[in-house]
Chains A and B, each alone.
Chain A
């Protein structure tokens, strides 16, 4: 009889990094991302967040699971749907919220906004507003990482797998055995268009085979599954055995961007994915693993209050003063 995922998780729970308490922290990080996205949506509707936003609610298990397998000084590159990438990599939620609000205390001083966050202190080499840009950034970071004993991760969507960046960089990384993990967050829609209708072959993970690259298709809503795949890929990278493509299948709860109600997605499809909300799945698994309802509620309350403080702090921060910003075109 096949072992269930919960049984597997229980079997591993005495290994380093695999205890329920550590997964509780990861669940907390997922909740932080969810709460962050909900707050950004709310603040957008209030006119506090400007331009556009691309929310990652529903996809939290991917960045949290992947980043849980990284060292703090490993590199990551994210996308314009990148709030979760930054928070999973360690960006301070208040500094990230302040960035969304265009405040001087933002992680980029209000110069970047929602789509272009950079946080080098936490190894985030950038989030990129151009589809596929993160793939190149991580590939380049992996050239440095190869010399520094580090690993680089690229997060990107299914749409990016049809860009030149994807094909050129995967070939490049395999040729040079670069320590990089390519994490495709396949949420099945490139903007408003179903992935399958514009993706030859219908699948993304198998594309790695043409480069002789290791790959795995992962349940991107299962924190444990993502982390397991990430540990293997990161170990492969760090040991010098080269890159990996992970296709993490997931779903966004909101539309593509703030102006998109997501009407093109069939209601039963949306429903079936909402029934597999990664936070609900993680919560249930943690209870199965022996944590109590009180343990979970306490963590949730802790995260919620952290998020409330972050938003309060960000809203209270000043806007950058154009007279004193002093931005320069070049580094002197």
Chain B
């Protein structure tokens, strides 16, 4: 069976949607002629032309504002804000213009736009090129946040994001771009729906993006200790599909949420709070594993220690369940 690389899933989704819908336009810094700094968009400019795919100035605020204005006047822009860290710059337009338009306009029109970015640490990029901005936007009503963990989901979710009538922030983890996985079985995937990626009865581990792979790896390791972990891929940070998590917790009675992000103000703490409020009767234990509350460090030893990886996840579960590590 043929396998799909994550970066090609992104490219194919864009290619197919630009082809399918003449109102879709795609622009960003170095995305057209150069094909993207992570080589996610090669050939799109050549195939679809300057009208549909073009390079922009390094002007993130103008880019987001231009996408907003274009989206409320008939186009469906997809923009690339190269690194998620750069999302602090266009924040006003996204937060105050795109996110509010549907509601404040009394539903005169919505804002169909997608903002793609490479996110996450582990690449030794340092503090200003390693953040995941999803949680910066998680408290903003009116913006969806998609967070795929594998190539098939990336393709289906990006196609849904482009077809969705609302603004969507689309997170692409840098350490997933070269990952290969099965081709998608569906044309699109619903935004805002979590997925069970491993069945288990002892504990529910929820994560997103690269963290899902780490959780799956940890689950395999824990299986050797006789701990049967269920892994849920949250896939979207807003809407946050707590229903699926509650469903899992009803079975496992234990919840661990793993986030590549901070302890305070992160989506893991947020999810834990919702599950506690609505499913306390099903919970024997619940906690989160996150990064340290410092900026992402550069040095490999520091960055590796800062990131919650499979070993940290497995160790946390063992410690919490009182199971000794295999000697």
Contact = CB atoms under 8 A, between A and B. Distances in A.
B166 A140 contact: no
B104 A111 contact: yes
A141 B141 contact: no
B57 A172 contact: yes
B294 to A, nearest CB: 29
Given A125-B72, A141-B69, A143-B70, A118 B104 contact: yes
Interface stretch (B31-39, B105-113, B172-180, B319-327): B105-113
A237 B178 CA distance: 45
B261 interface: no
Interface stretch (A60-68, A86-94, A161-169, A271-279): A161-169
Contacts of A111: 103-106
Interface stretch (B6-14, B93-101, B153-161, B223-231): B93-101
B255 interface: no
A203 to B, nearest CB: 23
B299 interface: no
Interface string A152-194: 1000000000001100110110010000000000000000000
Contact of B96 (A128, A141, A327): A128
Interface string A320-332: 0000000111110
Contacts of A221: none
A21 interface: no
A145 interface: yes
Given A125-B72, A168-B57, A171-B57, A140 B105 contact: no
B110 A144 contact: no
Contacts of A126: 72, 97, 101, 105
Interface string B69-94: 11111110100000000000100110
A133 interface: yes
Interface stretch (B59-67, B127-135, B242-250, B279-287): B59-67
A57 interface: no
Given A108-B106, A328-B103, A143 B69 contact: yes
A77 to B, nearest CB: 7
B270 interface: no
Interface residues of B, number: 41
Interface string A103-143: 00011110110001011110001101110010111111111
A251 interface: no
Interface string B13-41: 00000000000010000000000000000
B65 A133 contact: yes
Contacts of A224: none
B202 interface: no
A164 B90 CA distance: 10
B102 A331 contact: yes
A148 interface: yes
B68 interface: yes
A235 to B, nearest CB: 21
Interface of A: 75, 77, 106-109, 111-112, 116, 118-121, 125-126, 128-130, 133, 135-145, 147-148, 152, 164-165, 168-169, 171-172, 175, 327-331
**What are the 8 A-B residue pairs with the smallest beta carbon separation, nearest first?**
A140-B69, A136-B65, A168-B62, A109-B106, A144-B73, A331-B110, A168-B59, A140-B66
Given A111-B106, A139-B66, 8 more contacts: A116-B104, A118-B104, A120-B109, A126-B72, A141-B70, A165-B62, A165-B92, A168-B61
17 contacts: A108-B104, A118-B101, A120-B105, A126-B72, A128-B97, A139-B69, A140-B66, A141-B73, A144-B75, A169-B65, A171-B62, A172-B56, A172-B66, A327-B107, A328-B102, A329-B141, A330-B165
